[in-house]
Structure 1
Amino acid sequence: MKNSTLFQHKQIKTVFSFKELIETHFRGEQNAFCWQRNLEGDFEELVSKLELKDNVTEIKAEDLLTLQLSEKGNLARKLILNDLQLLTNFGASPLLNLIKNYERDDALDFISTDVYSFHVDYSPIATSTFLCTYYGASSEILPNDEAIQKILLPEIHEKLKDLYNVEQRDFEAFLKDHYFDLHYEAKSKAKPINLGVGHLWRLAVDHPAQTGLPCIHRAPLENDGELRLLLIC
């Protein structure tokens, strides 16, 4: 796998170590780095033994350590614990989530701002988004030139203007306060890129020091009857 890459796109740079993942700089359209891996271990067994307490349940390291697993299940656990430790040592705050489904945003019938909508992450400080799907449906990213901000679509813009008229404040601030400016619509011939299972991704975030384009991404619709196991920070 060292000499071949799964993801052939100008937006994506493939790396083959955690060191390379965190030390490579985003530039221009290249805003998604993939530590390409072929993980060994039985992640399905591990997921089957975890307890889902809410639709999104945070799994702690100690929860993993209490599980009675086969040799392959134990290998999967070791890989996850190692990823958590690598990111923690780097200074990140990784979360391991067992997911049935996320909460949907249906407050407005003409625009959605939940994680199933294509969006970019924003931070007031320089940072990145890390994620890895160990089991279940995988996240997707979208090339920036294949998307348009939802607030620029005339029908949505006008409806937001009508909504804004009820609330006495600056329109631009109104859009930011409700995160409308972070969400995107895929263009008609857009081709989302599935991030696959097992790879650790680093995605560019919209922040004041960011010189390149932030990475547009979304959570997938879950497969029927199947949970997801996702690391994110």
Structure 2
Amino acid sequence: MRLRLSEFRPRTGPYEHRVVQPRQPLRHTSLRAPDPIGLLLGDHDGLSRLAGLFSFAAYSRHTIVHVPLRDGVLPDEGVGEPVDLVLVHHTYGLRPSAWPRLRRALTTGAPLTVRTDEARTARDAAARRRRQERADSRNELRHATHARTFFLFGGRDLFAEAAMSFAHAAGWGPRHKRVAQGHSALMAGLPSLVQPPGGGHPVEVLICFKPYPPYAHFRRPGARPSRPRPPAASP
């Protein structure tokens, strides 16, 4: 997949960071922070590009991937605070409390175009799922919500598995029958989120497909376009 990004090089003290954002916003994609259930709603374009961004993050250990989602068109469903999304490797050492200062420094970005390798992403995701079946597997996505941003801290295989979940949602979501009437379709969830101690309802982020209005313009794959009505006969 070809991703058009903006690249930033902000500094904090002696350290330079590399931050990338989608060059064009994901206008019809939104994220509600989990409390304990979060909701990510997106159209085909938004979910497809998130699949690519997670794939890019999987193999970019020294890059922060920032996906602004708060300023898009909010859907007519979902509760909770709209938040942005940040993907970063757990080895990077980013603290959520340091993010607002970094975000303020994202002023002028340089254009960047990258390509993701879907076959490699699928192989790493499959390998992750096979390891997850073992009882001693403890590899999980750490997460935090701070400064109206939802942070995901993981590694290559976890981000690759999430990328495949978004690709599945983008590819199969439009095929659900009721989405043409504006209903959302639950397609997947973010895999292996760390759960808080003490039990209770598990923390989840649901991934749903939802077309954007006007819904009369949406066509399910394979559906026949509606034929225009013949003009009324003249008297």
TM-score normalised according to structure 2 size:
0.24
TM-score by length of 1: 0.25
Which has more strand, going by share of residues? Answer: 2
Of structures 1 and 2, the one with the larger relative CO (CA 8 A, separation 6+) is: 1
